[in-house]
Amino acid sequence: AQRVTQPEKLLSVFKGAPVELKCNYSYSGSPELFWYVQYSRQRLQLLLRHISRESIKGFTADLNKGETSFHLKKPFAQEEDSAMYYCALIGKGGSEKLVFGKGTKLTVNP
Amino acid sequence: NAGVTQTPKFRVLKTGQSMTLLCAQDMNHEYMYWYRQDPGMGLRLIHYSVGEGTTAKGEVPDGYNVSRLKKQNFLLGLESAAPSQTSVYFCASTRGTEAFFGQGTRLTVV
């Protein structure tokens, strides 16, 4: 079964501080992992995916298959990073349903 | 190219009433999904479809029905609305593995 766990419902940091949003997953095959972001009153949008290994808006995420984790990190948080962040998993090649974690609300204080 | 469009954006129903939410995508995507978003619960999958004429249950399917008669449309129906179905509903479609979301439908059942 596919499962995504985000242990923190809320995360609050100060501007300029490092931030890490945790995500752990459970899947029997080779999943594809994503981070989606939802800014206030907007639709969800893709932030980054593990296969692209890119940095978007200063965020990076590394897939750790041994620990089944896909934590999202940013070295210096900005106020505009305040949003809901969802970790998501889909079976490789899009063969299975897209499953989300419960989300983490990040607040970056001035 | 409008992407994923949901109608209506807002709706208030009385307990026991029925309604249909429409999701339309113009990207020729095979997979489509309906989620509900509730505080502290994240995005929960209601039903999904892997192609025209096919549907499957997600995590919280009770009280909802869906149909995918045309590839571009995915309908979510509530036959007899209940206050527990008060939520924000999101539709999504996937291309390969990246998901594109609608703007959401805020449904209140009184």
- Total Cβ atoms within 10 A of residue B108: 13
Please name the residue of chain A whose CA is at the shortest distance from the CA of residue B45: A99
Tens of pLDDT along B52-68?
A: 999 999 989 999 999 99
Give, for all 110 residues of chain A, the pLDDT tens digit: 788 999 999 999 999 999 999 999 998 877 889 999 999 888 899 999 887 778 889 999 988 989 999 999 999 999 999 999 999 998 765 556 888 999 999 999 99
Predicted local distance difference test score (pLDDT) of residue A97: 82
Predicted local distance difference test score (pLDDT) of residue B97: 74
* Across B21-26, average pLDDT: 96
Predicted local distance difference test score (pLDDT) of residue B56: 92
Predicted local distance difference test score (pLDDT) of residue B89: 97
Beta strands in B39-85 (DSSP E): 42-51, 54-57, 65-67, 73-78
Residues in chain B within 8 Å Cβ distance of A86: 42-43
Predicted local distance difference test score (pLDDT) of residue B100: 92
Q: Please state, for a pLDDT cut of 70, what percent of chain B lies above it.
A: 99
Nearest CA to A72 among B66, B49, A83, B51? A83
Predicted local distance difference test score (pLDDT) of residue A95: 57
Give the span between the Cα atoms of B53 and A98, in whole angstroms.
Answer: 19
* Across B29-52, average pLDDT: 92
| Cβ–Cβ gap B42/A6 under 8 Å | yes
Nearest CA to A25 among A97, A90, A95, A108? A90
CB contact A56 to B (< 8 Å) = no
* Across B67-84, average pLDDT: 96
Per-residue pLDDT band for B16 (boundaries 50, 70, 90) equals very high
CA of A49: how far to CAs of A29, A59, B43, in Å? 17, 11, 18
Query: Which residue in the block uniquely carries the two structure tokens 């807002």?
Result: B10
Nearest CA to B64 among B34, B92, B42? B34
* Nearest CB to A97; choose among B40, B41, B48: B48
Q: Are strands B31-38 and B42-51 parallel, antiparallel or unpaired?
A: antiparallel
Confirm if B66 and B60 have CB atoms less than 8 A apart.
no
Predicted local distance difference test score (pLDDT) of residue A27: 87
The answer to which of A60-69, B70-79, B95-104 has the lowest mean pLDDT is B95-104
Confirm if B8 and B105 have CB atoms less than 8 A apart.
yes
Residues in chain B within 8 Å Cβ distance of A43: 90, 101-104
